[in-house]
Structure 1
Amino acid sequence: MNKNRLLVFTDLDGTLLDHNSYSTEPASEALALLEENNIPLIFNTSKTRSETIKLRRKLHNNHPFATENGSCLSVPDGYFQGEKKKTVHTTFFGLLYTQIRQVLASIRAEYGFEFTGFGDMAAKEVAHLTGLSADEAVMAKDRDCSEPIVWADTDENLETFKRLLAARNMQLTVGGRFYHVFSVGDKGLAVHWLADYFHAEFPDHHFITIGLGDGINDLPMLNKVDHPILVRPMHGNAPDTSNIENISITDAPGPAGWNRSVINLVHELL
C-alpha cells in the first residue's frame, strides 16, 4: 500500500470563508500547501451550486463538492477516471426545491407559523441579511434541494415545526445564519459517498479524511471523518462535540484558525 493520501472536507461560511467578509485570504498558506501536495479540497457547504462553482473557479478548485448541506453532490465528469472535464454531474437527494416550498407553504397555511424563506424574499432582502452583493444574493436564491428560513416564531412552535417536517420525511438543521429545511442527505452523507468513490478509484491507497466546520449542520461531517476539526465560531456558542472522538478545536475563528489547523495536520500526517 502506498503512503497516506489525504482528503480534506470543509464547510465554507465561517470556516474557510470569513464570517463577515467572505474572504479566504487568511487561509492562503494552507490552500497553497494542499495544492502543492495534490490533496483534494472538497467543499461541503450549505451554499448553492451557483455560489460554490463561483468560489471553485476563484480558487482554481476542480474537485467534487457537496452543496445545500449534503442534499446535492456534484462530481466533475470523468473525475474518477482520470479525465477532469469542465462539466459537472450533480446527484440530487430527496425532494427538489419546488416540492420543499410547497410543503412549507402547506404547513404555514395550516398552522400559521411565522417564518420567511429565501423564496419569499427578493434578492435585495437576501443581500441585506447576508452581506452578499446583489449578484451573489441571486446565486444564493438559485436553490436545488433546500430552503433557508428565518424563524420568527416561538421556540415551542419551532419544536412543533420540526415534528411536522419529520412526519413528512424532512428535516431542519442550523447553519451559520439560518435554519435550513431539506429532505434527504447531510454533510456526513457527502463524506461517505465521496470517500467510497476515492477508495474505489484508488484501492491501493490509504485515504485519511479531515473535516472542518463551525456549526451544528457540520456535526454529521465531523462524525464521519478520521480527523474532525471544529473551527471556533466567530459569534455565539460552539456546537456540542463531546460525543465526537478525536475532535480538535482551532485556536482562532474562521479562515485564520482553519489555516493553522490544516497546515499542522498535513505536516503531521504526510
Structure 2
Amino acid sequence: MTLIVFTDLDGTLLDHETYSWEPARPALDALKARGVPVVLATSKTAAEVAVLHEALGLGQTPAIVENGAGIYRPGQPIEGGEDYARIRQALRDVPTELRAVFEGFGDVSDERVAEMTGLAEETAALARQRQFSEPGSWTGTAAELTAFRTMLGMYGVTARQGGRFLTLSLGRTKACAMREIAAELGADRTIALGDAPNDSEMLEAADHGVIVANGHGAGLPPMDGESKGRIRRTQAPGPQGWADAVLALLNEIEKD
C-alpha cells in the first residue's frame, strides 16, 4: 500500500501563533520511518514553501502552493505569473467601495504583510512573491463580500476564506492538486489534514480527512464525510492535534 499524507500548514501542521511544528515531530518521524510522503498543501508561495520543505526534510516530494493553484517541485522552477497578473487586473476594475475593504498582499509593503501575518519581514517578502493567487484581509460586510465575489466572478476569479485571509484565485483548489500528485505518486490511500474552509474539498476527497481544531477562525462546519466516519476532528489544535490524528490513523491502517 502506498499511503500519502497531505497537510495544510498554518493552524494545522504549524502552530497558529509561533509557526512551530515541534509538537508534530513524533508523528513526522513515524511517517518518515514508514516511508510515507508528506505533501504540504498551503496558501503559501513556492518561495516560502521551499524554506519549510527543506527544514522538514521532505526530499523530492512535491508540495501544493497558493491553495492548489500551483505545485512546487524541489529543484525545478515554477512557471507562472500570468494568473496573478489577471487577478490584479480584476481588482483594479472592482468598484472603489468594495476595493477599499480588501487589503491584498500586492497592495502593501513587506513590513505590512509582516504585521498582518506575524511573520518576520524577510519571510513576509517571500509571501509576497505570488504567482497564482492573492490573499488579503477582508473588513467588509457579508453583503459586500457577496458583491465583491460577483464582480470578481466576471473575470473568472474566485474568493475563498482561509484560516486568516480571503484568497483570490482562478478556482483551482487543493483537492485538484492533491488528485494530481496522488496519481503521480501512485497513492492507494490518502490522509488529508486541514483547519479552514479552503481545506474542505481536500478533506472530502481524501480517504481519511482530519479537521484540526481551530480556535482562531471560523473553522469548518459539519461535513458530509463526518457522518460516514471518513472525516474526524481533533481535540487539540495545531501540530499537537495533527500528531494525535496521524498516529491514531497509522495505528488503525496498520491493523487493517
TM-score range, shorter chain: over 0.9
Match of 1:49 in 2: 46
C-alpha separation between the residues in 2 aligned to 1:90 and 1:141?
Answer: 15
Q: SS of the residue aligned with 1:197?
A: helix
Match of 2:252 in 1: 268
User: How do 1:53-92 residues align onto structure 2 when only pairs under 5 Å count?
Assistant: 53-62=50-59, 63-76=61-74, 87-88=75-76, 90=78
Structure 1: 5+ residue runs without aligned partners?
A: 77-86, 200-205
* Structure 2 counterpart of 1:223, from 201, 204, 207: 204
Match of 1:83 in 2: none
- Structure 1 residue 154 displacement after superposition: 2.2
**1:40 aligns to 2:37 (yes or no):** yes
- Structure 1 residue 95 displacement after superposition: 4.9
Check whether the contact 1:108–1:114 (CA below 8 A) recurs between aligned residues.
no
Check whether the contact 1:9–1:191 (CA below 8 A) recurs between aligned residues.
yes
Figure out how many residues of one structure are paired with residues of the other and give that number.
250
Does the C-alpha gap of structure 1 residues 28 and 111 become closer, same or farther in structure 2, counting only changes over 3 Å?
closer
Match of 2:224 in 1: 243
Does the C-alpha gap of structure 1 residues 121 and 112 become closer, same or farther in structure 2, counting only changes over 3 Å?
closer
Match of 1:192 in 2: 179
Check whether the contact 2:163–2:219 (CA below 8 A) recurs between aligned residues.
no
- Structure 1 residue 98 displacement after superposition: 2.0
What letter corresponds to residue 163 of structure 1 in structure 2? T
C-alpha separation between the residues in 1 aligned to 2:93 and 2:206?
Answer: 37
User: How do 1:101-116 residues align onto structure 2 when only pairs under 5 Å count?
Assistant: 101-109=88-96, 113-116=100-103
Match of 2:4 in 1: 7
Match of 2:138 in 1: 151
* Structure 1 counterpart of 2:188, from 207, 215, 226: 207
TM score, norm. by length of structure 2? 0.92
Structure 2: 5+ residue runs without aligned partners?
A: none
What letter corresponds to residue 29 of structure 2 in structure 1? A
Check whether the contact 1:14–1:176 (CA below 8 A) recurs between aligned residues.
yes
What letter corresponds to residue 220 of structure 1 in structure 2? E
Deviations 1:154-196 (A, max 9, x none): 2211101111222221111011111000003101101111111
Does the C-alpha gap of structure 1 residues 263 and 105 become closer, same or farther in structure 2, counting only changes over 3 Å?
same
- Structure 1 residue 102 displacement after superposition: 1.4
- Structure 1 residue 117 displacement after superposition: 0.7
Moved segments of 4+, more than 3 Å: 89-92, 108-113
What letter corresponds to residue 23 of structure 1 in structure 2? S
Match of 2:19 in 1: 22
Check whether the contact 2:68–2:175 (CA below 8 A) recurs between aligned residues.
yes
Identity percentage of aligned residues: 38
- Structure 1 residue 74 displacement after superposition: 2.3
Deviations 1:178-219 (A, max 9, x none): 1000003101101111111122xxxxxx61100000000000
Q: SS of the residue aligned with 1:88?
A: coil
Does the C-alpha gap of structure 1 residues 175 and 161 become closer, same or farther in structure 2, counting only changes over 3 Å?
same
C-alpha separation between the residues in 1 aligned to 2:32 and 2:76?
Answer: 21
TM score, norm. by length of structure 1? 0.88
Check whether the contact 1:172–1:180 (CA below 8 A) recurs between aligned residues.
yes
- Structure 1 residue 75 displacement after superposition: 2.9
Match of 1:126 in 2: 113
